[in-house]
Amino acid sequence: MTVPLKTNFSVKQCFPFFIFILLFGCQKPEPQPIPEQVQKQSQQDEPVDLSLLCKNLEKNMLAINAERTTFALEQINQDLKLCLPLSTLAEQQHLLALSTQMYNNFLTVDRTAAQQSAFEAYAFDLSQHPTIQQNRFEQLTLRDQYLLKHKGQAYIELFDRGKGRVNYRRSPEYLARIFAPYMPPAEQVFIENLATQNMQPVLSEHILIVEPHEIASRALFWEDYLHQYPKSSYRKDAEYLLQMYTLFLFKGMKDSPVSDSYIDKYAVQSSSLDEIEKLAEVKNSHLATQATKFLHFLQLSEQQRLKDIPVQLSPQEQQSQTENQLAVKQLDQYLGLANLSLSNPRDCFSDAVCL
């Protein structure tokens, strides 16, 4: 005889389970962004008319102004990645110049004097302390509020130029990532290396921020670059960079000189002297020759310098209160240093190309 199977199952025990089914099992599911993703994917799968896209690229770049969004910039940057591989070097450099103009237009902000003061104070505090409370935020123009909220997008960043001066700039990484991969080796190497060098400020007012070891390394790099790529379209800029880093190495800057007198090696900053001594040991380098002559210059007495390195001081130089004016001019002539200054209209220390 079959014995009925007994169970303790009861409606009362299952009641909470039924309630769970009623409450949760019958709810409408959360809306999922799948349709949008599918739509985007289908758009991406559609063939792109590259000829039309590249034909309209210049017009679209020129249309960017201070009312557009970072999304518009990012779209153009994606289009550039499609068109640059199909362009000649001349066309690439034309687009590069347009991209600089595009970002300048995008980052232009019209401010009143009060708004300018509020921006400088806020931006300086933000660059020094990124987590600072934004109690001055509402005093800024709407455009500043937008740009600060979107800082870090589309290669937009704040750049601290020293002494409380902060402004927007296009990151040097922009050209290194968007343009350089599609350019010839000489231009690619120039842009990628200058971008790396200029990610941080080189100087502030008349004070060098870069250490002598890095200055010597950069000078050697630009000397080697000119040997490797003598026909580079950036040759003149590389020559200028080599000359400037040579001046930084042997003379420094007005408020951060390598020496106050050049009387002897003990009058030279020890960190600079160490690098110059190392540089003098490098083979097949004009910089090394200059370094050797610099060390010899320090051994010359004032009488020997007057005899071996005759120079004439201008009336302005004679009236100068700088005690080492004569020694500096003698050093310039002895080493064959270029007569350059940062007032040169060419700016090679804030982007991945000279502007």
Domain ranges of the chain: 51-175, 183-335
Across residues 51-62, what is the average pLDDT? 96
- Give residue 312's pLDDT: 85
Residues 11-28 have a mean pLDDT of: 40
Answer yes or no: is pLDDT of 14 > 50: no
* Stretch 83-95: mean pLDDT: 97
| Model confidence at 65: pLDDT above 60 | yes
Tokens 């518009």, residue? Answer: 72
Distance CA 17, CA 322 (A): 92
| pLDDT given for residue 35 in this prediction | 35
Q: Which two tokens stand for residue 128?
A: 């020094």
Write down the pLDDT at residue 87.
Answer: 97
d(CA 42, CA 44): 5
Mean pLDDT of 59-77: 97
pTM of the full predicted structure?
A: 0.82
Residue predicted with more confidence, 33 or 116:
116
Among 79-83, 128-132, 236-240, 321-325, where is mean pLDDT lowest? 128-132
| Euclidean distance between CA atoms 308 and 172, whole angstroms | 45
Residue 244 burial by CB count (10 A; 0-12/13-18/19+): exposed, middle or buried? buried
Helices (H), the chain: 11-20, 34-45, 50-62, 70-83, 89-106, 113-128, 142-149, 173-178, 185-197, 212-228, 235-250, 270-279, 286-299, 302-308, 315-319, 325-335
Q: Given a cut of 60, is residue 288 above it in pLDDT?
A: yes
Span 202-222, pLDDT tens digits? 988 778 999 999 999 999 999
For 237, residues 6+ apart whose C-beta sits below 8 A from its C-beta are 190, 346, 348, 353, 354
Whole-number pLDDT of residue 323 = 64
Q: How confident is the model at residue 120 (pLDDT cuts 50, 70, 90)?
A: confident
Q: Is the model more confident about 110 or about 318?
A: 110
